[in-house]
A and B are shown apart, each in its own frame.
Chain A
Amino acid sequence: MSSMIDIVFLLLIYFIVTMEDEIPEAHLAINLPSAGARKQEGVAPRLLEVQVYKNELRLRGKVLTYSEIDNFLERFSHTGKDSTVMVQVSQRARAQDLVTALDLCRKHGYNNLNVLTIND
């Protein structure tokens, strides 16, 4: 009995030592432009353009706050979530800026997110 308890304690110690707070990770899917992509025939996709700069988001070229873009995407989503969002990212934008924009789009159900680079 005592040896069993020894091993149970060893197991307990093992779990305590190896236990780590796992960070919950989200995967934000994006589409990259490809050179050989063929044009899709049929109904033209509805486009929404979001520009991402360092600490700044723009919608169709107009600088807006986070909540303004949030509201716009919310309203726009009622007209259909099949729209393609063109996320144009400045070279100087940070990964956090891009994730903020992608996260906002995903929040309102836009899953077709095409990422392009702004050469600035």
Chain B
Amino acid sequence: MRRRSDETLETPVTQMIDIVFLLIIFFIVTASVDGDLVDNTISLAQAKNAKAESVAKKMAITINMRMEKDANGKLIIINGRPKITYNIALQPKTLQGIRQTLLAVKEETGDFVPVLIRVDRNVEYRYIDELLQNALAKIGFTKVSIVAVASD
């Protein structure tokens, strides 16, 4: 009789830990989704002296800009200009699309939202200028940051 009551009092620790670990895995997997939205295929310019940003700007809009290459690694040139593509959180955008996204942000929260531009180090400034002038400055986003690889 006594033995039976002892058995019922045992806590199933192993199963509980199993479930706790499963929960941890679930939270880790879902939390890392944001990080996966960074376009890591862009080779950023090098800033020899700048320090790395210690806190990621959560509210920032990051515009990725890169020159497309073919299967052999050669730049794709169309009508004398390199094929440049843009994306925000890996969603492909045109200049017009970026402008519309920013206009929507401006209406919702204002033009103080930080805008980060991650651009391939070999892109000529004239193409960056197209983005800065046509999609940003014209609608009031005049404070932007160029992202570079930090020294440390």
Contact = CB atoms under 8 A, between A and B. Distances in A.
Nearest to B121: A96
Interface hub of B50, B132, B151 (most chain A Cβ within 10 A): B50
A11 B24 CA distance: 9
Contacts of A79: none
User: In this complex, which of B14, B24, B126 has the most chain A Cβ atoms within 10 angstroms of its Cβ?
Assistant: B126
B124 A30 contact: no
A23 B142 contact: no
A98 B122 contact: no
- Interface size grouping (class) on chain A: 35 or more
B89 interface: no
Contact of B145 (A29, A52, A90): A29
B51 to A, nearest CB: 6
A47 interface: no
B145 A33 contact: no
Contacts of B149: 23-26
Interface stretch (A38-46, A56-64, A102-110): A102-110
A4 B142 contact: no
Contacts, number: 147
Contacts of B121: 94-96, 99
Contact of B25 (A1, A14, A99, A103): A14
B66 to A, nearest CB: 10
Interface stretch (B1-9, B39-47, B69-77, B102-110): B39-47
Chain A interface SS verdict (over half): mixed
Given A18-B32, A25-B53, A27-B57, A95 B21 contact: no
A32 B119 contact: no
A79 to B, nearest CB: 21
**Would you list the 3 A-B pairs with minimal beta carbon distance, nearest first?**
A24-B52, A26-B50, A91-B126
Interface of A: 1, 3-4, 7-8, 10-11, 14, 18, 23-35, 37, 52, 89-100, 102-104, 106-107, 115, 117
Interface of B: 14, 17-18, 21-22, 24-25, 28, 32, 40, 44-53, 57, 116, 119-126, 128-129, 132-133, 136-138, 140-152
Given A3-B18, A102-B146, 17 more contacts: A7-B18, A23-B149, A24-B52, A24-B151, A25-B149, A28-B148, A31-B142, A31-B143, A90-B125, A92-B124, A92-B126, A95-B121, A98-B125, A98-B146, A99-B46, A100-B47, A117-B129
